[in-house]
Structure 1
Amino acid sequence: MKCPYCQEEMQLGYIPNGGQPVQWIPNGERPSVLSFSIAEQGVPLINQFKPFKANGYKAEAHYCSNCKVIIAPTKN
């Protein structure tokens, strides 16, 4: 996918839903095993701490390292 701002190729990854801070992670990488920490290759997103969250889901998202923007499709 091309970035709509700079036209560079965006990197495919995902946004996991688990015990870590909200972050984008490149495909092939896993979230950190430590709670409340960012994965080594993760890109943190602005988020708030929520002690009770569902686990096991993830949303596909594309990241442009040049523009520092993440684009994620929605269901509807």
Structure 2
Amino acid sequence: MHCPYCNEEMRIGVIHGDRYAIKWVPKDKDRGGLLQWFSKGIILAGFSESVEDVFYCDKCEKIIIDTKGKKDTRKK
């Protein structure tokens, strides 16, 4: 995959979860780490799961994650 910022080739990798879910939460809805269970967002990986096919650009230092098929707790 090519980086959408600089067009360089990105490296593919994985993010491993540990004891807690990894979740994207909108900045204006963030309640902090202690209250993260009550924040609605896109769950990227649950307890001890992994996020596959994560792309990283060495030049821009940006990560791209496809959220298709991930549980979105913001939706009803």
1:71 maps to which residue? 64
- Distance in 1 (alpha carbons) for counterparts of 2:55 and 2:3: 9
Aligned residues: 48
Q: Which structure has the highest helix share of the two?
A: 2
Once the two structures are superposed, the pairs formed by residues 22-61 of structure 1 within 5 Å of their partners are: 54-55=47-48, 57-60=49-52, 61=54
TM-score, scaled to structure 1: 0.51
Structure 1 residues without counterparts, runs of 5 or longer: 23-47
Which 4+ runs in 1 deviate beyond 4 A?
none
Tell me which amino acid in the other structure corresponds to 1:59. V
Identity %: 40
CA RMSD of aligned residues (A): 2.7
1:13 maps to which residue? 13
- Distance in 1 (alpha carbons) for counterparts of 2:11 and 2:59: 11
TM-score, scaled to structure 2: 0.51
Please report how far the alpha carbon of residue 62 of structure 1 lies from its aligned counterpart in structure 2 after TM superposition.
Answer: 0.2
- Higher gyration radius (CA): 2
